Structure 1
Amino acid sequence: MSSARVDGPAWVQDAVLWHVYPLGAVGAEQTGDPGAAAVHRLPQITAWLDHVLALGANGLLLGPVFASQTHGYDTVDHLRVDPRLGDDGDLDALFAAASATGVRVLLDGVFNHVGREHPAFRAVLEQGPSAPTASWFRLRWPDDVAADPSVWTPGVEPDYDDFEGHRHLVALDHTSPDVVDHVAHVMTHWLDRGAAGWRLDAAYAVPSSFWAQVSDRVRERHPDAYLLGEVIHGDYAGAVREGHLDAVTQYELWKAVWSGLNEGNLWELSHALGRHAGFLEDFTPQTFVGNHDVTRIASRLEDERHLAHALVVLLTTGGTPSVYYGDEHGFRGVKEDREGGDDAVRPALPASPDDLSPVGLPVMALHQELVGLRRRHRWLHTARPSVLQVENRRLVVASEGGPGERLLLALSLEDGPVTLEVPGATEVLAGEAHLDGGSVRLGPHGWAVLAG
């Protein structure tokens, strides 16, 4: 184990997260007026806490809940709940109800950019270069204004950096001490109110030096806060180490799971698991097979029999796993690269879990079985996967913790029965399989988790 190992707060060892996109889950309007009267919809999320527990989860990873004009990622007030969801009292009540049931709540912090209507940017538009918040943004004024700010006149706008070409998302200047102060204040404010940690949106677009300053400030008051950066590509371990974070999102493994299963190329999954084992030397990644930004796993997989394969990889591999709301009932939805293209993967939930279709109950039962297995082997949080056998459509993986802590995962994508070598296996813990000495027999498109 690396001496630079990042373990994060102790409570995360047992964390299984239920990830919800609140504006979608409660059926809020697609656009809103941040100054409108509150519509108290957050209690609809509170009503699902028993479902979180029934799943076996103990964490609630919330998407954006702060005042915005559209999808929540165009924040206009980090210190106020979006009125389409309710008010501060509703969020406080959610924190209290979650705490009473042993569920920790993580918030989604959008700190790479703000919406154009954020007061800090409105001040720039209304006051020009002399605005006290001009240093918050990466601005480029017309040449005459840049040479002599006193010639600025109302209506003259600067050019500015944005988020990936979206002009309504104004990028912050992360070299500004004022921005460091603001973000540290926001994060601490909501941790004081009851949040247990933060998902840091678009962390990959922000300098690690900024996260390091903010993280250190936040942890002075909240050493047990979990700080998770959204990172898609690149140096995961470096982002954690240099940003003083606890973890980043494991997109490499997510991609290898569904594409390896779809293409009958378990070599890809094998390679990703090897990479994942390396990451686990330094930190514990946040793992998932679905989230608010991607096509749902039940729609992504070309063979529905492989949904179990994806889930068993998630829940027997080291990491802090999350289940995206509805995936535990086999919800479908395809993300499209167009305006409104996320809507299908961010649907409204029914009023209560009792109103879910019984069609999804077998998928729920599978989730419960595998989350339960993970709970009985809590060392899986940091377990290193090692591939024992791999072919195009067959895979055997050992997940190992300390002495005496070992499970085997056997997967087959074959159309007929197969026999795989599983050295040291002693018992079938999950899946339909027959164990005979050092080998296991799986049916067509079978899987098994084995003690060993």
Structure 2
Amino acid sequence: MSFAEHAIIWQVYPLGAVGAPIRPAAPEPLEHRLPTLEKWLDYVVELGCNVLLLGPVFEALSHGYDTLDFYRVDPRLGDQGDMTSLLDAAQQRGIGVLFDGVFNHVSSSSKYAQLTTGNSFEGHEALAELDHENPEVVELVVDVMNYWLDRGIAGWRLDAVYATSPKFWAQVIPRVKQRHPDAWIMGEMIHGDYVAFRAESGIDSITQYELWKAIWSSIKENNFFELEWTLGRHNEFLESFVPQTFIGNHDVTRIASQLGQERAVLAAAILFTVGGTPSIYYGDEQGFSGVKEEREAGDDAVRPPLPEELSPLGKWIEDSYKALISLRRQHPWLHHARTEIQEIENQKLTYRAVADEQWIEVQLDIEHPSVRISDAAGTELFSFSAS
């Protein structure tokens, strides 16, 4: 049984979630903020999730994607002792922890300067691209990945994997898997040939940005035909691998801000009833809002601190998520299910998720926001109506 088969992920951007300063004017002193995250682990279990995907946790200059030291926990979060405590507490609850591996680029002022190409990443002068043709970079990445796997993490998200040659990863992944055969390694691909990259690189899964776009866009634009086309593509991907699916992450506008809270439940229903390894971005299950803007600090609104206490206003959304996660748990074959369209109009869609001679049926209505999910016997498994 693979790690991903029963994985339901809760993704957190740690620096934001614990209220750390994102752009300090000078190096910050050690501050033990990771215990804040540890307090949320019981909540993760209560939701029905069993994987914690952490954004950058290594020492960095600002937002975490400008790494200074791959072997040191960012002092704004805490120290190695804090991280060990978090990993131990997660393990005690049956939660696997994934780290964000930012191995495409580092801070231009990091100690890895001799391993960079001299080019900046996507025009960001503060980010220097690692030279993936250099054998020393292969050695560094293999060592870092194994170092943290040795310390108890369950796997890696590879940041900006689309910007790195799959040939590089083909040198790295087998060596990591040799030592940690059960490690789950997922790559961030915003665009590109998912199937070919995955086959050539040896990674386990890829972020399904095509499906993310189609889910929110089809609901927002009253055009389920966009989703129909993308679900056809999704079925093709499932022939080769199981993608990581999501309707929110640290880089995009919150789903509740895109659609409103009621229609965001339709998006969640799709997420949990199509094939994939589903991921919830922290707070989406409470209806958090936040708009990403293309400017300096434009991500801050979608990377907020976790509250001291959750507002009761989000309870109904949380209950919907819990019910959908429970449905997913009761039908684990949904992980690799194919989607078959039954009926479609601009604002109405009925599809079946099918696998292992089993199926469930999902009925969606945008105009009068509602969802009904039933099994082959016609038994209602989940329903939601905004009216």
TM-score bracket for the superposition, by shorter chain length? over 0.9
Could you tell me how far apart the structure 2 residues matched to 1:423 and 1:173 are? 52
Distance apart, 1:31 and its partner CA:
2.6
CA spacing shift, 1:327–1:415, aligned 2, 3 Å? closer
Matching residue's letter, 1:407 = I
CA spacing shift, 1:407–1:166, aligned 2, 3 Å? same
Which of 205, 208, 222 does residue 166 from structure 2 map onto?
208
**Do 1:274 and 1:387's aligned partners in 2 also have CA atoms closer than 8 Å?**
no
**Could you say which residue in structure 2 is the equivalent of 1:449?**
none
Distance apart, 1:103 and its partner CA:
0.2
Could you tell me how far apart the structure 2 residues matched to 1:415 and 1:430 are? 16
Could you tell me how far apart the structure 2 residues matched to 1:356 and 1:423 are? 33
Could you tell me how far apart the structure 2 residues matched to 1:181 and 1:163 are? 21
**Do 1:31 and 1:71's aligned partners in 2 also have CA atoms closer than 8 Å?**
yes
SS at match of 1:198: strand
Q: Name segments (4+ residues, structure 1) moved above 6 Å.
A: none
Which of 284, 289, 304 does residue 332 from structure 1 map onto?
289
2:307 aligned with 1:315, yes or no?
no
| Residues 157-196 of structure 1: pairs in structure 2 closer than 5 A | 160-196=118-154
CA spacing shift, 1:327–1:416, aligned 2, 3 Å? closer
**Residue deviations 1:317-366, cap 9 Å, x none?**
11000100011100000000000000000000123xxx111000000000
Q: Which has the larger radius of gyration?
A: 1
| TM-score using structure 1 length | 0.82
CA spacing shift, 1:261–1:36, aligned 2, 3 Å? closer
**Could you say which residue in structure 1 is the equivalent of 2:83?**
91
**Residue deviations 1:92-120, cap 9 Å, x none?**
11110000000000000000000012112
Could you tell me how far apart the structure 2 residues matched to 1:195 and 1:366 are? 30
CA spacing shift, 1:417–1:38, aligned 2, 3 Å? closer
Tell me the C-alpha RMSD between the 2 structures. 1.9
**Residue deviations 1:291-334, cap 9 Å, x none?**
00000000011x44311110000001110001000111000000
Matching residue's letter, 2:282 = Y
SS at match of 2:272: helix
**Do 1:335 and 1:341's aligned partners in 2 also have CA atoms closer than 8 Å?**
yes
Distance apart, 1:394 and its partner CA:
1.2
**Do 1:286 and 1:322's aligned partners in 2 also have CA atoms closer than 8 Å?**
yes
Q: Percent identity?
A: 51
Could you tell me how far apart the structure 1 residues matched to 2:368 and 2:85 are? 51
**Could you say which residue in structure 1 is the equivalent of 2:179?**
221
Could you tell me how far apart the structure 1 residues matched to 2:171 and 2:27 are? 32
Which of 251, 255, 258 does residue 293 from structure 1 map onto?
251
SS at match of 1:162: strand
Could you tell me how far apart the structure 2 residues matched to 1:311 and 1:416 are? 13
**Do 1:13 and 1:320's aligned partners in 2 also have CA atoms closer than 8 Å?**
yes
**Could you say which residue in structure 2 is the equivalent of 1:431?**
383
Matching residue's letter, 1:58 = N
Q: Which runs of 5+ in 1 are unaligned?
A: 1-8, 122-132, 139-159, 433-442, 447-452
Matching residue's letter, 1:80 = R
Distance apart, 1:414 and its partner CA:
3.3
2:47 aligned with 1:55, yes or no?
yes
| TM-score using structure 2 length | 0.96
Which of 351, 360, 364 does residue 407 from structure 1 map onto?
360
Which of 337, 340, 345 does residue 386 from structure 1 map onto?
340
**Could you say which residue in structure 2 is the equivalent of 1:45?**
37
Could you tell me how far apart the structure 2 residues matched to 1:285 and 1:415 are? 30
**Do 1:33 and 1:69's aligned partners in 2 also have CA atoms closer than 8 Å?**
no
**Could you say which residue in structure 2 is the equivalent of 1:155?**
none
Matching residue's letter, 1:369 = A
Could you tell me how far apart the structure 2 residues matched to 1:195 and 1:423 are? 36
Could you tell me how far apart the structure 2 residues matched to 1:296 and 1:417 are? 20
2:219 aligned with 1:240, yes or no?
no
Moved more, 383-392 or 315-324: 383-392
SS at match of 1:335: coil
Could you tell me how far apart the structure 2 residues matched to 1:24 and 1:254 are? 23
Distance apart, 1:37 and its partner CA:
3.6
Which of 360, 367, 370 does residue 321 from structure 2 map onto?
367
CA spacing shift, 1:297–1:321, aligned 2, 3 Å? same
**Could you say which residue in structure 2 is the equivalent of 1:281?**
239
Could you tell me how far apart the structure 2 residues matched to 1:80 and 1:35 are? 14
Distance apart, 1:57 and its partner CA:
0.1
**Do 1:23 and 1:85's aligned partners in 2 also have CA atoms closer than 8 Å?**
yes
**Could you say which residue in structure 2 is the equivalent of 1:3?**
none
**Could you say which residue in structure 2 is the equivalent of 1:346?**
303
Could you tell me how far apart the structure 2 residues matched to 1:347 and 1:161 are? 31
**Do 2:263 and 2:369's aligned partners in 1 also have CA atoms closer than 8 Å?**
no
SS at match of 2:71: strand
| Residues 111-122 of structure 1: pairs in structure 2 closer than 5 A | 111-121=103-113
SS at match of 1:283: coil
Matching residue's letter, 2:198 = V
Give the paired residue count: 386
